[in-house]
Amino acid sequence: MKITGCETHAVTVNFEGMMSGTHVVLRLRTDQGIEGIAYVSRVGPRNIRAMALVMEAMVESIHGLDPSNAEEIYRKLFGAALGAPVSGLELRAASAIDVACWDLKGKAVGQPVFRLMGGFRDRLPISANWALMPGGPKDKLQAHLENLLARGFRAVKAPCGFATIPDAVDHVKFIRAVVGPDVRIIVDLNFAHTVKSALRFARETEEVDLYWIEDPVAFHDYDGMAQVRANAKQNITAGEVYQHPHEFKWLLERRGSDNVMIDQDLGLTGFLKIAHMAQAYGCPVVNHLAPEALAHPIAAVPNGLIVGLVPWGQPLFTEPMKVDDGNLVMPATPGLGLTLDEDVLKKCAVS
Ligand SMILES: [Mg+2]
């Protein structure tokens, strides 16, 4: 199998009127007629066209290579062969191409990607990570939480970094009162705090029984993260903005977090490297965004903890991710198990 080219689509889609996202979708083509799929999010409107062009140029640079050789392509795309890693749009394009290569690899041998990567399990916990900001009407929040429980979710994540500590504490206490004692509640502090204010939040929410506190302090303050981790009773999760393996190494060496969060920016190949490194430190791993792709390495490795579902890419596909009694049911179909919705790609195209 050889890579022969690609097609890109820039689209803006909306999930249930609650969350919208602009994405660049990549379809990686081969001489065998099968295509690999990936998408990149968080691209500003002015950079959408640039993102697609960079992606197309990078695919040209691997023209004729076999997508099954993930490490060969990873080395070429991420620039490790030159000793100087890629960054910016190039890095983000490279990560999407890497994801599409894994999709192709699975399709070529008729296996789901998570099985090729290790196949540790085919069901794993999933959390609902949308529309849980503090500050809105309480009755609306309650209705949303009840809807999530009815849909089978048993874990939720609330971003609280933009609220005051009293408001954030009040918010998570309200969520606990609605969902009961058996649902996992995750709080994201979005890098907003000092060590001391993060510890104040941790102390004041001890009785709420949080599953983890995420990004309590600035992402580059590895020692501050470690101080919070050492002094808070709750587990700490960090890592979502890191794009290179050495950043995770710095975090892990300092014991900066209990769980490691990995973004698609590392590619699936890079995700696996970080997951194995984290395992050596006894740390579970979770995903940041791109749940459709990143659920695969989490299901594949023994230290995969839970998949966070940010659903802004879900309208791109014909099938939603399947949730059953708190678990994500991994697709049994080859590759990533994703089928693009052609109508959505046309209707929601960014001009
Ligand atoms: Mg976060």
Q: How far, in Å, from the CA of 6 to the mean position of ligand 1?
A: 31
Whether 334 is in a domain gets the answer no
CATH number of the domain within which 262 lies: 3.20.20.120
- Judge if 208 and 310 occupy the same domain: yes
Angstrom distance (rounded) from CA 238 to CA 216: 8
Q: How far, in Å, from the CA of 345 to the mean position of ligand 1?
A: 28
Angstrom distance (rounded) from CA 160 to CA 174: 13
Angstrom distance (rounded) from CA 310 to CA 132: 11
Q: How far, in Å, from the CA of 134 to the mean position of ligand 1?
A: 15
Q: How far, in Å, from the CA of 158 to the mean position of ligand 1?
A: 9
- Judge if 56 and 78 occupy the same domain: yes
Q: How far, in Å, from the CA of 347 to the mean position of ligand 1?
A: 30
C-beta separation of 286 from 261 below 8 A: yes
Angstrom distance (rounded) from CA 220 to CA 191: 10
Q: How far, in Å, from the CA of 5 to the mean position of ligand 1?
A: 34
- Judge if 25 and 134 occupy the same domain: no
- Judge if 51 and 131 occupy the same domain: no
Which pLDDT score, from 0 to 100, does residue 45 have? 85
Q: How far, in Å, from the CA of 318 to the mean position of ligand 1?
A: 27
Whether 86 is in a domain gets the answer yes
Q: How far, in Å, from the CA of 34 to the mean position of ligand 1?
A: 34
- Judge if 261 and 249 occupy the same domain: yes
Which pLDDT score, from 0 to 100, does residue 81 have? 53
Whether 42 is in a domain gets the answer yes
Q: How far, in Å, from the CA of 261 to the mean position of ligand 1?
A: 8
Which pLDDT score, from 0 to 100, does residue 339 have? 98
- Judge if 65 and 154 occupy the same domain: no
SS (H, E, C) the chain: CCEEEEEEEEEEEEECCCEEEEEEEEEEEECCCCEEEEEECCCCHHHHHHHHHHHHHHHHHCCCCCCCCHHHHHHHHCCHHHCCCCCHHHHHHHHHHHHHHHHHHHHHHCCEHHHHCCCCCCEEEEEECCCCCCCCCHHHHHHHHHHHHHCCCCEEEEECCCCCHHHHHHHHHHHHHHHCCCCEEEEECCCCCCHHHHHHHHHHCHHHCEEEEECCCCCCCHHHHHHHHHHCCCCEEECCCCCCHHHHHHHHHCCCCCEEEEEHHHHHHHHHHHHHHHHHCCCCEEEECCHHHHHHHHHHCCCEEEEEECHHHHHHECCCCEEECCEEECCCCCECCCCECHHHHHHCECC
- Judge if 99 and 120 occupy the same domain: no
Instruction: Give pTM, 2 decimals.
Output: 0.97
Residues with Cβ < 8 Å from 172, sequence gap 6 or more? Answer: 158, 160, 185, 187, 205, 208, 210
Sites in the chain below the pLDDT cut of 70: 80-83
- Judge if 140 and 76 occupy the same domain: no
> Whole domain around residue 58: which residue ranges?
3-111+342-347
Report residues near ion ligand 1: CB below 5 Å. Answer: 188, 214, 240
- What value, to the nearest 5°, has the Cα angle with vertex 56 and ends 55 and 60? 115
Q: How far, in Å, from the CA of 13 to the mean position of ligand 1?
A: 21
Q: How far, in Å, from the CA of 82 to the mean position of ligand 1?
A: 32
CATH number of the domain within which 93 lies: 3.30.390.10
Q: Read off the pLDDT of residues 293-307 as tens digits, 9 standing for 90 and up.
A: 999 999 999 999 999
C-beta separation of 148 from 178 below 8 A: no
How distant is the alpha carbon of residue 276 from its chain centre?
Answer: 17
Q: How far, in Å, from the CA of 240 to the mean position of ligand 1?
A: 6
Could you tell me which residues are beta bridge partners of residue 160?
none
Q: How far, in Å, from the CA of 289 to the mean position of ligand 1?
A: 9
- Judge if 91 and 126 occupy the same domain: no
- Judge if 190 and 276 occupy the same domain: yes
Query: What is the number of structural domains in the chain?
Result: 2
- Judge if 105 and 42 occupy the same domain: yes
Whether 335 is in a domain gets the answer no
Angstrom distance (rounded) from CA 255 to CA 72: 32
Give the residue carrying structure tokens 């993260």: 225
Whether 296 is in a domain gets the answer yes
Which pLDDT score, from 0 to 100, does residue 325 have? 97
Which pLDDT score, from 0 to 100, does residue 87 have? 87
**CB neighbour class for 19 (10 Å; exposed up to 12, middle 13-18, buried from 19):** middle
- Judge if 134 and 272 occupy the same domain: yes
Q: How far, in Å, from the CA of 288 to the mean position of ligand 1?
A: 7
